[in-house]
Chain A
Amino acid sequence: MSDVTTKTILEVLGLTVSFEQATGSTKVVNDVSFEVLEGETLGIVGESGCGKTVTVLSILGLLPETGTIDSGKMIFEGRDLAKLSVEEIRKVRGSKIAMIFQDPLSALHPLLPISTQICEVTMLHRGFNRDEARLHAVRMLELVGIPDAEKRIDAYPHEFSGGMRQRIMIAIALSCEPTLLLADEPTTALDVTTQAQILNLIRTLNPKFKTSTVLVTHDLGIVAQMTDRVAVMYGGRILEIAKTSDLFRAPSNPYTKALLKSVPDPSVGRIEDLYQIPGTADFSVVTHGCAFAPRCNRAEQSCREELPELEQVSEGHYSRCHFAKEEYLSNQSKH
């Protein structure tokens, strides 16, 4: 893991995003605030529909047409990304902030050779000429571990395996040496052994390029292995945000605790120890209280009526729960 300095790269403040649906508009991201520090990897973890992907799409202005940013600021290099014009945000995309997606096959143009797709970015954003761009592209491909890069650069996406395609996506994303890399479930579509390779690659490359990363994932194992800090999202809100080591050592939100206990623990290997969170995540129901309250084992009447604030439990460790302090302290007593 990289050195964490205090310089803030991106500051998201009170981001609220809603989606137009047949039944009306729904808030998918609700008052989300976080910051990304220089060189760090911030994980955003949560289950499907919790708003984690929408959050990162908002940063680059890539929301689908049905989604709108209702309020909030996203300060990047002194400018609010939400206020940039289409032209201005396009200049930021790919150069200062790059993104990699879950499915590298659909993110790559199927009819263009890899070379064109990598060179395009650097010619556009860094003003390289064709030869410079190509030279740089080969270097990037070698860096991400494409064997025979010199030759394979003119191959088409379908000629590569899934893992290789994700490496190419990473090469494209890093070729303008972005300040911020947004990775949306970058290894979900891959096999475990390939996933390990890609995760390792991201981990070794980031310090090299001094890139900060926002890593969106549903896999708590990946969070534990890859991130410096982590935000846990549920129902469009951040329920807990902390240093990764603090979060796993002293989870201070009932949802985080339940999530951790729901992952099968192979070292114990007993099904009785597996925790199940009752019910399903139904985010279509608007509540005034805590979104997790209907499934929470310690919810009280106040949880259903009043939305808890994000409360600090220790330095840099915040939890959105009426019982945040108690939850935090209960970890202490265990050890």
Chain B
Amino acid sequence: MNEKLISIRDLRVAFKEQSGIFAHAKTTVAVDGVSLEILKGEILGLVGESGSGKSTLGKAILSLVKKESGEVYFKNQEVASLDHRGVRSLRQATSMIFQDPYASLNPKMTVGEIVAEPLSTHKLVPAKEIPERVRVLLESVGLSSASEKSFPHQFSGGQRQRIAIARALASKPEFIVADEPVSALDVSIQSQIIKLLDRLRSELNLTMLFISHDLRVVRIIADRIAVMYLGQIVELGDAQSVFENPLMPYTQALVSAIPSLDPGVALGRFESMLPDETPSPTKPSRGCRFSSRCSFALESCRTEEPKLTEIRPNHWAACSRISSSNPSIA
């Protein structure tokens, strides 16, 4: 369980936005010096709000976006330095599930063609065995094999997400990035997909990066949780520990912002509400990124960038106001 499948060192991804030939390019730093390890067989939950760079981090790990600096090692191989064949085997050993099951399936391909594409791309099985493999895959995600002749638009959101999962599993990957896989789905369908992913994880011994803005979902499926804010990881630890004893003021706010299902208890749960909204990542502040919204921020927080430090066993946080000897901020 403790074997590293992926390790990321000081990864930085920036986007230049060119609005015209002569215009000044705007730089958005989406991922800003992230170091992280993903262990074999675990589900690492990555939470953060929009613009936190969580989705970009997922794509950068699969080398689907270009990094600016830093390294990503997949099974001890740096992914950006892979040659053509190396990239192909990386694509076979990894796959991705997207948020919007309407956008992530080619509307002009049949379900059978969609699920068969990874098989034929990597020539994993002889051509005449592909239909049989497709049927097995569809059944493993709870769709009937008859659905292979239909087009994606003939299915509901949850069924489409099952198709996307079947495609992601086709190449027998070891590692899957699931980018908000249940956010677009209804509650009752959401629980079906969460359970499906959890079952497949244990059956196929998958490692997964589960990206979501919904802490409730991440808490229930992930082994560990990483919290991202403006391109940086600000808290990392066991799911239960992060959720029940969040260290960073930001994580505390995230947890308390979840509307509770209990109408009696919950009144006044929003009290640790954050002022303002996440600032634009085009002009990040110096020092702690969160200092502009943090009610505990000192002058030093605005100038010195805190490092991710182990505050409790297996629970890390990037906040200069807390330490292992003084883990509580208030």
Contact = CB atoms under 8 A, between A and B. Distances in A.
Do any beta carbons of A and B sit within 8 angstroms of each other in the complex?
yes
B277 A225 contact: no
Given A195-B257, A196-B273, A200-B273, A264 B216 contact: yes
Contact of A266 (B186, B189, B220): B220
Contacts of B259: 195-196, 199, 219, 221-222, 224-226
B198 A220 contact: no
B263 interface: yes
B270 A200 contact: yes
Given A221-B258, A274-B194, A191 B156 contact: no
Interface in B251-280: 253-254, 256-264, 266-267, 269-270, 273-274, 277-278
A193 B195 CA distance: 27
Scoring A196, A269, A278 by chain B CB atoms within 10 A of each residue's CB, the highest score goes to A196
A68 interface: no
B41 to A, nearest CB: 16
A161 interface: yes
Nearest to A47: B186
Interface in A265-298: 265-266, 269-271, 274-278, 280-282, 295
B278 A259 contact: no
Given A196-B270, A264-B219, A271-B198, A276 B191 contact: yes
B50 interface: yes
Contact of A191 (B213, B243, B260): B213
Contacts of A224: 259-263, 266
A277 B191 contact: yes
B2 interface: no
A156 interface: no
Scoring A1, A225, A266 by chain B CB atoms within 10 A of each residue's CB, the highest score goes to A266
A192 B258 contact: yes
Contacts of B214: 192
Contacts of B258: 192, 221, 266
Contacts of A281: 156, 186, 188
B195 A274 contact: yes
Given A225-B266, A264-B194, A193 B253 contact: yes
A264 B217 contact: yes
Nearest to B157: A48
A238 to B, nearest CB: 18
B5 interface: no
A274 B270 contact: no
Chain B, interface residues (CB within 8 Å), range: 35 or more
B261 A274 contact: no
B140 interface: no
Contacts of A226: 259
Contacts of B100: none
Given A262-B188, A269-B220, A193 B273 contact: yes
A263 B261 contact: yes
A317 B34 CA distance: 52
Given A193-B257, A248-B262, A274-B220, A199 B191 contact: no
A199 B271 CA distance: 12
Nearest to A274: B191
A164 interface: yes
Contacts of B144: none
Contacts of A269: 219-220, 239-240, 243
A20 to B, nearest CB: 19
Contact of A264 (B213, B220, B266, B270): B220
Contact of A199 (B189, B219, B270): B270
B187 interface: yes
Interface in B218-256: 219-221, 239-240, 243, 253-254, 256
- List the 10 closest A-B pairs by CB distance, nearest first: A221-B259, A47-B186, A191-B49, A277-B188, A196-B257, A264-B220, A262-B191, A224-B263, A266-B219, A192-B257
Given A193-B254, A266-B220, A276-B191, 10 more contacts: A47-B189, A164-B277, A191-B49, A191-B213, A199-B259, A224-B263, A248-B263, A269-B239, A269-B240, A271-B198
